Chains A and B, each alone.
Chain A
Amino acid sequence: MDAKRRSFLKSTAMAAACSMVTSEAGFSLPVLSADDGLPDGDGLTWNKAPCRFCGTGCHVQVGVEDGRVVAIAGDKAADVNKGLLCVKGYHVGGILYGKDRLTKPLLRKDGKLTEIEWDDAIDIVAKRIMDAPDKFAFYGSGQWTIPEGFAAQKFMKGGLGNNHIDPNARLCMASAVTGFLATYGVDEPAGCYADLDECDVLITWGNNPAEMHPVLFSRVTDRRSRGETVRIIDIGTRRTRTTDAANDYLEMQPHGDVAISLGIMHLLIQNENYDKSFVENFCNFRGAEADTPTLQGEAISEEDFRKRIAKYTPEHVEELSGVPADKIRMLAELFANREIRITSLWCMGMNQHTMGTAINSLVHGVHLLSGHFGRPGDAPTSLTGQPSACGTVREVGTLAHALPGGRVVAKPEHRAQCEEMWNVREGSINPEPGYHTVKMFEQFTKPTSEGGDINTLFVQVTNPGQTLPNLNALFNSKDGLEDKFLIVSEVYPTATTRLADLILPAALWVEKNGMFGNSERRTQQWFKMVDPPGEARDDCWMTIAIAHRLFELGHEGMKNKDGEFIFAVKDENGKEIPVWEFEHYYDTNVDKHLFEEYRAFTTMKHKNLAPYDEYVAARGLRWPVVEQSDGSWRETKFRFAAFDDPFVAEGQEFEFYHSSSNDGRAQIWFHEYAPPPEMPDDEYPFWLCTGRVLEHWHTGTMTRRVSQLSRAMPTSYVEMHAEDAQAANIRQGETVVIESRRGVCELPVWIDGRGRPPRGTIFVPFFDETKLINNCTLEAHDPFSKQPDYKKCAVRVVKKSTAKANATEMVHS
């Protein structure tokens, strides 16, 4: 052991811990405090930006000196984080400076990547699209900025008449979207982070905010250190750091959440202690159609709801979920008590679920039925994992079926509205929804001769080669795909660029202008602060440059009704600025032009945004943002509640003004419990759950290049129960092979590690591109959201020596 190094680690650990203790800002875990005072001068300047990582939307102050980011501090003016950051946010500046940044376009020629000029790269992309516009697909991201997503959306749906555009958010929060739509008729949470400051009980449903949204979780745990009582109830399939802070841990079997929510509602009904007034005035009951279930479902009576839910007794729920009946009663009693305030939090656990829409709707239903809705602290709240999953995906509508402003391609009146606002020809927008993510990659990796009708795929700001489920089916290289062409815009080499035919080097975070929308409906803005390295360029510019090349090639869709380029930007004298030429891209603020165009869409579903300059001045504003009589702009914390939402009709206490039943009411759904699509058996006896860790963000592309974070969590691993390990003669740290019906992954074992799965369950984080656990996961998905379930499939754990022997035996036989 190197004593000097260990001593260094100890001093670093103490400094980090002390900085949390001495922070004045009021949060606790696990955050590092901002430096006091941010001195300008000597070439150092500071400017605001939202953090590049998760959906919390913390603001940082970015210190720039000599064209380089040299310091990061929490932004004390930011309401979200009040000057504090988690360990990832503290190191966010380092993501720009990995040694292997991509700096030149690279084209694969004869199997080898070769540097080419940008002009040639844009030409190649445009010609492939021109040759077969309907076989082109665009795969984007909840890390797209709002203007980037809007440009991609307009290019595809308004310009090419092609709806094969979908974001990676399909993999992380599509079920939240369908859950909100099914319940309220409109997407995104009614409450906001202030609920965490007011709740008496916090229930985490398959959620680990202590690691995934640590600044938010700190808002709750810190209240305890101030002497407040906040009861945390963790419902999960494994113990996590959130469990460590919880008062109650309810360990459920996979899909147990569905049974638990039904069990709570059953007891509220049976005991007649649900909120009758709230339900009578503001809710309807809903069930799935028998033949062809839809997201709208069909109206059912309260009596019918009672009959359907009657079988979900605490004892039956215990059988289905593994949670003791008395704990189900405890939850129901809490919800029956309207003297307290209850906030539910969830994220991937409920979204990456083959019953994702159902469980989202059911948890909303628990809150509606019990009346724990619409008061500060009483809120069903889903969190997002990406910084602009809400802003860019859900609001701009970059999903394959959607249009900006809550419109959908399937409705003629919606298409007409968008065509009018984009000033494109009538009929430009295709009425058929495009391919969702799983389907898109199925069609891309299927040979053309077998019906694989996507032949050119452009990936921006995401890493599907690591994040898609069942990678062997949906991504990994196959024979017979020589006519397919994969274009990847990236900042670093990744699991996706390994298979790319053309790599476009991208600008990252504060190397470009941007806007994000976080989990609490907060729209945020930042300016470019440093130049990207080499020839790396903005993703938004790439889209506009490709569009303009198509315009030059004569593609009619790239012209508006007046014959002008669809992304034309003009100066104050009406002269067009050639923003498709990168040297002129920053002659104007393209983000501002695109945002102002997009903003006009946002009033159509009461998600009103303020003018761009209001966001320049603010640390984000929560929509709807409505202009006041004095010319100021007011944000909204709590939607649908008269005390705060300006769109609730006068005289109403609550109004769900986008109700799918057109009567101002929300829907309380009944769904039958169904088991997961793949369950452990004799051959594959373990549940596999995948997820994230505190130190790394998603696929680790950025955080694994920050040495402090890499050192803290250097490699992926498999968490395993000690008794399971002992039974299989597996030792701590031993490398084992995880095998599913779809693929394998080798990992070291961490017995009773940070997370503690129960017997029969293992957990693997997906951040490590050298250990692709998504070779094993299942692509089965929710029927409405099309979101795959990464949280449960069947695997076996095999000692590496045994796996090798088996492989040898197979070869010889």
Chain B
Amino acid sequence: MGCMLLGTAIPTKDTLFSESLTQVPVSGLVVTFQTPVDQYRETIELLRAVPEIETGEFKNGKLAIVVDSETRHRDQEIWDSVRQMPGVIDLAVAFVGFDDDQNHTRDE
């Protein structure tokens, strides 16, 4: 059995995004309401009042939002608070994109 490395382009931390766990993701989320969204205008207003949240389309009890926060701690806070808002029964992730620099660690 040999032991030489095959010198081809296996993705590594250098060829992929570098160590990005210190960074905060931009996430696309879907908020699911117990009943149609129209009955939860107050909750949607609450969501819109959060500066890091951008709201998108809503249909059939589901609302698309994007969260772009500056710290992981804040990201977690937003996640937790959205889950506890009136009428919210589920919070799902459609997409997570990580930032690629180191300026989001100030809460550590």
Contacts and interface: CB of A to CB of B under 8 A. Distances in A.
Interface of A: 1-2, 5-6, 9-10, 12-22, 28-30, 32, 87, 99-100, 106, 108, 111-113, 210, 221, 224-227, 241, 244-245, 445, 477-478, 481-482, 484-486, 492-494, 497-501, 503, 694-695, 704-705, 710-715, 717, 731-733, 735, 748-750, 752-753, 769-770
Contact of A493 (B10, B18, B76): B10
Contacts of B57: 18, 21-22
A28 B90 CA distance: 10
B21 interface: yes
A224 B3 contact: no
Interface in B68-108: 68, 72, 76, 83, 89-101, 103, 105, 108
Contact of A111 (B4, B21, B35, B99): B4
A19 B57 CA distance: 9
Interface string B25-57: 011111011110000000000000000001011
Contacts of B90: 28-29, 221, 224-225, 244-245
B19 A100 contact: no
B22 A733 contact: yes
What's the dominant secondary structure at chain A's contact region?
Answer: mixed
B11 A710 contact: yes
Contacts of A500: 2
A79 B18 CA distance: 40
Contact of A225 (B6, B9, B60, B68): B60
B21 to A, nearest CB: 5
Nearest to B17: A714
7 A-B pairs closest in CB distance: A733-B22, A13-B28, A29-B92, A17-B64, A714-B17, A17-B28, A9-B97
Contacts of B99: 1, 6, 9
Nearest to A483: B1
Given A28-B62, A482-B1, A500-B2, 14 more contacts: A13-B94, A17-B29, A18-B56, A21-B64, A108-B4, A477-B2, A478-B1, A704-B11, A710-B16, A714-B18, A732-B21, A735-B19, A770-B11, A770-B13
A416 B95 CA distance: 54
B64 A733 contact: no
Nearest to A752: B76
Contacts of B21: 715, 717, 732-733, 748-750, 753
11 contacts: A1-B101, A14-B64, A29-B90, A29-B93, A111-B3, A244-B91, A481-B1, A499-B1, A501-B1, A748-B21, A770-B12
Given A100-B10, A715-B13, A20 B62 contact: yes
A712 B96 contact: yes
A501 B59 contact: no
Contacts of B76: 752
Contacts of A481: 1
Contacts of A29: 30, 32, 90, 92-93
A17 B65 contact: yes
